[in-house]
A and B are shown apart, each in its own frame.
Chain A
């Protein structure tokens, strides 16, 4: 039946026992994983697309968390000062806090303080002659060249204490088209009347939103003049009042010690770091924890979807796994092939989802508060890459427990 050549080739020969390729270094697991995925493209692509949709959802939630968070606290987060001083007993509320010029002088004289400047917050709108919708902005009064004034990446900083000039943040520039050298018209409510103030744009800073509004920075005396005023303001109208003090330290590493020292030496002030200050912004913590909860639940759904898929697939393959173990495939070879399979489809899903999300986000108008920060995108992507193998853990245990005896229809 067989030719002589074939019989010679099929003749027994001594097996070389030294040829032992362990599952951990063998090219067999990636080979098996790839072949199964490739030959069942439709099924695995479907799971990858589910992962892609979960990725899109997670990245959008993440972008929304960063975008909304930035809209709330971007200015305080990027403040060029180590300490933020509030009036005592106002729950670190920038709108409730009131600090006088005299208090600022006391702060400046505390040993270890490098510089301190006043910052005042209010709001207003930029109006347009061409009938466009007014843009609501945070109107922030700062001292030119001092802590609190954002650096202008285009144009220059503020010069005079009472000059009619402004630095706008990039969000204002993007949404209004204003450029350095343009004049803007600021609407402010004075008593019961609407007043309009022309301001020259002298610089454009990076994103410095505050209270979900883009910001316009003006010199503090200008701010004091143009900020919305009530009919009858209480207190001493001759004294300049602002909301917080931005304090730079000689030794920023001694933050806690300096905060205590300032509180000890200056009465009725509360000194905190930037993070504490912006976390106290009304609604910020609640908003972030809500978005984080949604994000965690989305990831959990991802774990369950992937886990369910692989659990069903593993149960369908018990006979096949038993056969592979019976013919001598080590459990590690089969387990690694299984994990690699999950890794392949998770990477594919996350890649499709990430590219799709970024492409989709390019179509959004600038008013949509979605910001993809590299660090948080990386955290989200790594989390998503972890959920795949995590979802497959239960199936992995099932797979490990399959006995080679099942190939013969037996069990121990």
Chain B
């Protein structure tokens, strides 16, 4: 299967005074369509920096990242903005939604940004929200929703414009256990259903039970990749015990 995303020997170096610090060092990986990958590791291990580079928000100091064969580092600022708008779906840990737009308007925002808002896409947005259990919340503002509901709206927004890859930064950080499971499970289902490449950065290792691959990072490098379903279940179960 042709990978959607390929990272080849990616390094990100920050200059702090006279010292060069590698936030990410020589990371290579590939993600195929329909694959849901979790980046795990302690704080400062480089997983969020890696996510930022995969999203085109940050340029690698060395190496390259290819999305469907297109090299992100060769894109200009405007092209990368357009790339994020069209090819990437995002959910963030906080500030996920536009506070003055309703649930439906927040999801439709991605369609508006891409100039694709029409009756059909509007209907698709509504059905997506309906499937995420937010059918009765379409006209609510984010402030009227719980944290879990807000994350689900963000998931709908991340998927509605049919991107190539979906990136989630700590999607369960502010959720209770039950809500966290619900959100990640829904996310995984939609990624598989739409045949997208999904990447989730998380501290909550229990959530790894829903992914197809675990990329464990330490000190800016990949410490281990787990892609065997049996091992993934064992990894997640081990942390559920804790």
Query: Is the C-beta of B32 less than 8 angstroms from some C-beta in chain A?
Result: no
Q: Whose C-beta in chain A lies nearest to the C-beta of B130? A: A6
CB distance from B86 to the nearest CB of A (A): 5
Q: How far is the CA of A322 from the CA of B92 in the complex (A)?
A: 11
Contacts A28-B113, A40-B100 given; does A15 touch B87 at CB 8 Å? yes
Query: Is the C-beta of B84 less than 8 angstroms from some C-beta in chain A?
Result: yes
Query: Is the C-beta of A386 less than 8 angstroms from some C-beta in chain B?
Result: no
Query: Is the C-beta of B146 less than 8 angstroms from some C-beta in chain A?
Result: no
Q: Whose C-beta in chain A lies nearest to the C-beta of B84? A: A328
B162 and A15 form a contact (CB under 8 A): yes
For A278-320 the 0/1 string (1 means CB < 8 A from B) is 0000000000000000000000000000000000000000011
Query: Is the C-beta of A91 less than 8 angstroms from some C-beta in chain B?
Result: no
CB distance from A159 to the nearest CB of B (A): 73
CB distance from A261 to the nearest CB of B (A): 67
Interface residue tally for chain A (C-beta within 8 Å)? 43
- Residue from A13, A35, A329 within 8 A of B162 (CB atoms): A13
Find chain A residues with CB under 8 A from B55 CB.
Answer: 326
Q: How far is the CA of A20 from the CA of B196 in the complex (A)?
A: 23
Q: How far is the CA of A31 from the CA of B113 in the complex (A)?
A: 11
Query: Is the C-beta of A232 less than 8 angstroms from some C-beta in chain B?
Result: no
Q: Whose C-beta in chain A lies nearest to the C-beta of B115? A: A21
B58 and A328 form a contact (CB under 8 A): no
Query: Is the C-beta of B13 less than 8 angstroms from some C-beta in chain A?
Result: no
Q: Which of A49-57, A356-364, A389-397, A402-410 contacts B (4 or more CB under 8 A)?
A: A402-410
CB proximity to B under 8 Å, residues A318-358: 319-320, 322-330, 333
Find chain B residues with CB under 8 A from A409 CB.
Answer: 48, 93
Q: Whose C-beta in chain B lies nearest to the C-beta of A407? A: B92
Contacts A7-B193, A13-B162, A320-B98 given; does A408 touch B112 at CB 8 Å? no
Query: Is the C-beta of A9 less than 8 angstroms from some C-beta in chain B?
Result: yes
Most buried by B among A15, A36, A326: A326
A10 and B194 form a contact (CB under 8 A): yes
Query: Is the C-beta of A12 less than 8 angstroms from some C-beta in chain B?
Result: yes
B101 and A2 form a contact (CB under 8 A): no
For A10-23 the 0/1 string (1 means CB < 8 A from B) is 11110101011100
CB distance from A38 to the nearest CB of B (A): 8
Q: Whose C-beta in chain B lies nearest to the C-beta of A320? A: B95
Query: Is the C-beta of A412 less than 8 angstroms from some C-beta in chain B?
Result: yes
B162 and A327 form a contact (CB under 8 A): no
CB distance from B234 to the nearest CB of A (A): 25
Query: Is the C-beta of A105 less than 8 angstroms from some C-beta in chain B?
Result: no
Q: Whose C-beta in chain A lies nearest to the C-beta of B114? A: A19
Q: How far is the CA of A324 from the CA of B128 in the complex (A)?
A: 21
Contacts A2-B193, A12-B194, A35-B101 given; does A327 touch B95 at CB 8 Å? no
Q: How far is the CA of A342 from the CA of B174 in the complex (A)?
A: 34
Query: Is the C-beta of A231 less than 8 angstroms from some C-beta in chain B?
Result: no
Find chain A residues with CB under 8 A from B84 CB.
Answer: 326-328, 404
Q: How far is the CA of A319 from the CA of B100 in the complex (A)?
A: 14
B196 and A319 form a contact (CB under 8 A): no
B82 and A36 form a contact (CB under 8 A): no
Contact surface of B with A, Cβ cutoff 8 Å: 33, 48-49, 51-52, 55, 57-58, 78, 81-88, 90, 92-96, 98-101, 105, 109-110, 112-116, 123-124, 127-128, 131, 141, 157, 159, 162, 164, 169, 189-190, 193-196
Closest 10 interchain pairs by CB?
A328-B85, A319-B95, A21-B115, A39-B100, A328-B84, A36-B100, A19-B115, A323-B95, A15-B86, A10-B194
